[in-house]
Amino acid sequence: MLKGLMKWLVSLLLVALGLLGGAYWWLHHPMDTRQATLDLSIEPGTSPKAIAQAVADAGAQTSPTLLYAWFRLSGQSRQMRAGSYEIAPGTSPQRLLSMLVRGEESLRTVTIVEGWNWRQVRQALAKAESLQADSRTLSDDAVMAKLGRPGVAPEGRFYPDTYSYAKGASDLAVLQRAMKAMDKHLQQAWEARQPGAALQSPEQALILASIVEKETGKAQDRAQISGVFNNRLRIGMRLQTDPTVIYGLGEAFDGNLRRVHLTTDTPWNTYTRAGLPPTPIAMPGKAALLAAVQPAKTAAIYFVAKGDGTSHFSATLDEHNRAVNRYQRGQ
């Protein structure tokens, strides 16, 4: 009888070891996704059992009952987070739980480039992968109202950077982050301004920074360009900067700036109007923001492109005309 009991216990132990081995294998063995990356979306408040079913519904060839049991036995079933996930080929049940508990959502990115205008930002958002285009049908005014800035022009308000987002996130959420980032960097730049800068407010700094951003070919010239514009503002001289004219032309600009454009008045034409334009003309980066409020100490009030990305700076009109003849006309 004792011998029979021992055989029964050994058999039971072998069965238990087999079950444990099978469970270990199942937990660490990749789920069958048919070699495809599966999209898994979990809404807030979804139960662990419903999450297990959602994994199977997404296309994972596994038992939702076993998954649910694993979630419960792990003690972490209530720690799984809502979000948008990707189940890549090779993902095991153990890795899946870790991913859900840590909230490792599948992220995408969209980049706002220094010097882009608002129209280009909207185009980039519209093309961004898996980004919910909530702003697509909204006017510019409506977008800014949604962002809590009614009556504020969107140009220049969004900080150039690369922003990550979860699949299905709203483009308005990305814009909100970019706007807050610009607010932060603009405030930091304004607090670091030089006493001699010819600017009266952060708003003016943002506008000038956008012009510096568009005028700068080489980083080494940025502070000098700002110095020229600060000097002109200080003495009441028109800025006469081509990028503002181009901005005022909008989509009508065909890439060829003509003399008639310089004399055609728009709110942004700094050849026909004194002072800064009414809004920024682009999204300035950190370097341009700092250059606007920390201009180089220079007597120059003119500059001309040399053809290699840099500029020649002049303090007098005669010197400037000679530079124009040399670098623009080859004389």
Q: What is the pLDDT of residues 39-56, one digit of tens each?
A: 888 989 999 999 999 999
Residue 32 has phi, psi (to 5 degrees) of: -80, 115
For residue 76 the two structure tokens come to 């972490």
Q: What is the pLDDT of residue 28?
A: 87
Task: Sketch out the chain's domains with CATH numbers.
Answer: 33-105 (3.30.1490.480), 107-186 (no CATH), 194-327 (no CATH)
Q: Which residues contact 20 (CB under 8 A, 6 or more apart)?
A: none
**Residue 272 and residue 203 in contact, taking contact as beta carbons nearer than 8 Å:** no
For residue 158 the two structure tokens come to 């969004």
**Residue 310 and residue 224 in contact, taking contact as beta carbons nearer than 8 Å:** no
**Residue 164 and residue 106 in contact, taking contact as beta carbons nearer than 8 Å:** no
Contacts 24+ apart (CB under 8 A), 194-197: 194/293, 194/294, 194/295, 196/230, 196/295, 196/297, 197/230, 197/292, 197/293, 197/294, 197/295
Query: Can you tell me whether residue 217 is helix, strand or coil?
Result: coil
Which residues does residue 38 pair with via DSSP β-bridges, in sequence order?
87
Region of 250 (left: φ > 0; alpha: ψ -120 to 50; beta: rest) is left
Concatenating the DSSP letter of every residue in 70-126 gives: HHHHHT-GGG---EEEEE-TT--HHHHHHHHHHT---EEEEEPPTT--HHHHHHHHH
Helices (H) and strands (E) in the chain, counts: 13, 6
Please give the helix or strand (H or E) that residue 139 lies within, else none: none
Q: Which of 203, 246, 218, 191 is nearest to 303 (CA)?
A: 218
Q: How far is CA 327 from CA 86, 303, 304, in A?
A: 55, 11, 8
Contacts 24+ apart (CB under 8 A), 16-24: none
Region of 111 (left: φ > 0; alpha: ψ -120 to 50; beta: rest) is beta
Q: What is the pTM of this model?
A: 0.80
Q: Which of 165, 190, 191, 188 is nearest to 176 (CA)?
A: 165
pLDDT in tens, 232-288: 999 999 999 999 999 999 998 998 999 999 999 999 999 999 999 999 999 999 999
Block means of pLDDT (10 residues each) for the chain, length 331 residues?
58 54 77 87 92 94 92 93 89 92 90 98 96 96 98 98 91 97 98 93 98 95 97 97 96 91 96 98 98 96 92 95 88 67
Q: What is the pLDDT of residue 105?
A: 86
Q: How far is CA 112 from CA 60, 149, 152, 178, in A?
A: 36, 20, 19, 9
From CA 282, how far away is CA 294, in angstroms rounded?
Answer: 19
**Residue 34 and residue 59 in contact, taking contact as beta carbons nearer than 8 Å:** yes
Q: Which of 234, 195, 216 is nearest to 310 (CA)?
A: 216
